[in-house]
Amino acid sequence: MGKFCAKCGSEIEKDATFCANCGTSTDGKAEAKVVESSNSGETRNGMATAGFILSFFVPVLGLIFSIVGLNKANQLGGNGRGLAKAGLILSIVWMVLSVIASIIYYMVVIAAAVGSSYYY
């Protein structure tokens, strides 16, 4: 025995959560979450948020996510653009700093190696 949609009256599969025809949930209370997230989910820029957070921990991933987030922000009419830019700048700054830090590190190591070869 099948269920019927409270909104449009079309038959719903027994274990279906939402009406395939109009997207109303089977309890008839709210619009389908799936439909909601695929539509209004577009207004939230998860990639920008992920890029911003990742830029603190994994700058390379943060950079990639921020670039994707920035592209998505342009598609969304600017949603999350600031966050994506912040993530982009942060990850670039982190990468530049880590490159400078490793250059200094190797210079010190080389200087120490050269220095020790001079003295011995």
Provide the Cα torsion 40, 45, 47, 52; round to 10°.
-150
Size, binding site for Zn ion by CB under 5 A: 7
**28 φ/ψ sector (left φ>0, alpha ψ -120 to 50, else beta):** left
Stretch that binds Zn ion, among 5-13, 50-58, 68-76, 110-118 (CB under 5 A): 5-13
21 lies in the binding site for Zn ion (CB under 5 A): yes
Contact 36, 19 (CB under 8 A): no
Nearer to Zn ion, 39 or 43 (CB): 39
What is the rounded distance in angstroms from the CA atom of residue 79 to the CA atom of residue 43?
7
Among 16, 22, 53, 86, binds Zn ion (CB under 5 A): 22
Stretch that binds Zn ion, among 16-24, 70-78, 87-95, 99-107 (CB under 5 A): 16-24
| Residues near Zn ion (CB under 5 A) | 5, 7-8, 19, 21-22, 24
